[in-house]
């Protein structure tokens, strides 16, 4: 669910708000990589702290844990919303990091392909290839096509004779 900047200002402290504002576009795209990594670390720490506090407050509400302060927590909705805001900021930061990594990988692949093409073109200009062997030029004698026969000539008479013998045997019965 999208949250307005006004809602973010109500839930977050000033230092958390500055971190979350840096995670919005277009400021996110302008951050250098080392600042982006540092911002990710800080937002992750704040999100983890908010998660811990929200879990503790839920335990206090259920009566499973002793109150941390003077009195027990009566509601944990603000802390949960703060956790959700920080988690959304962390997701945006992670998405930007993965986008930058994919872009860098694509640029590396393009560079490698261009270097390989240059090497191939350079090698192709002075390559020594083996001879192709026998080719059908003037000195080659064409080979005659073999004659195709259905049966061997020696078998023709034997098959006919066998048929005659078998018919004579049937007739004599």
Tens-digit pLDDT profile for residues 79-106: 888 899 999 999 999 999 999 999 999 9
In a 3-state reduction of DSSP, which class is residue 154? Answer: helix
CB 32 within 8 A of CB 40: no
The confidence band for 41, taking pLDDT boundaries of 50, 70 and 90, is very high
> Could you give the residue ranges of the DSSP H alpha helices within the chain?
5-11, 14-22, 27-30, 33-62, 77-125, 153-171
Most confident stretch, 53-62, 69-78, 109-118? 109-118
Report percent pLDDT > 70 for the chain: 89
| 5 preceded by a cis bond (ω within 30 of 0) | no
The first and second tokens of residue 9, run together, are 């200002």
Q: Is the omega angle on the peptide bond into residue 26 within 30 degrees of 0, that is, cis? A: yes
Under 8 Å between Cβ of 43 and 86:
yes
């Amino acid at each position: 669910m999208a949250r307005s900047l006004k809602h973010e200002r109500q839930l977050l402290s000033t230092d958390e708000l500055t971190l979350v504002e840096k995670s919005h576009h277009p400021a996110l795209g302008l951050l250098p990589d080392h600042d982006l990594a540092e911002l990710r670390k800080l937002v992750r720490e704040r999100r983890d702290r908010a998660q811990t506090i929200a879990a503790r407050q839920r335990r206090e509400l259920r009566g499973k844990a002793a109150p941390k302060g003077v009195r027990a927590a009566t509601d944990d909705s603000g802390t949960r919303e703060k956790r959700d805001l920080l988690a959304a900021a962390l997701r945006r930061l992670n998405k930007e990091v993965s986008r930058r990594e994919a872009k860098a990988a694509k640029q590396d692949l393009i560079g490698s392909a261009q270097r390989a093409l240059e090497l191939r073109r350079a090698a192709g200009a002075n390559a020594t290839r083996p001879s192709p062997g026998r080719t059908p030029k003037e000195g080659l004698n064409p080979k005659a096509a073999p004659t195709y026969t259905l049966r061997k000539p020696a078998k023709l008479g034997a098959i006919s004779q066998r048929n005659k013998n078998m018919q004579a045997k049937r007739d004599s019965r």
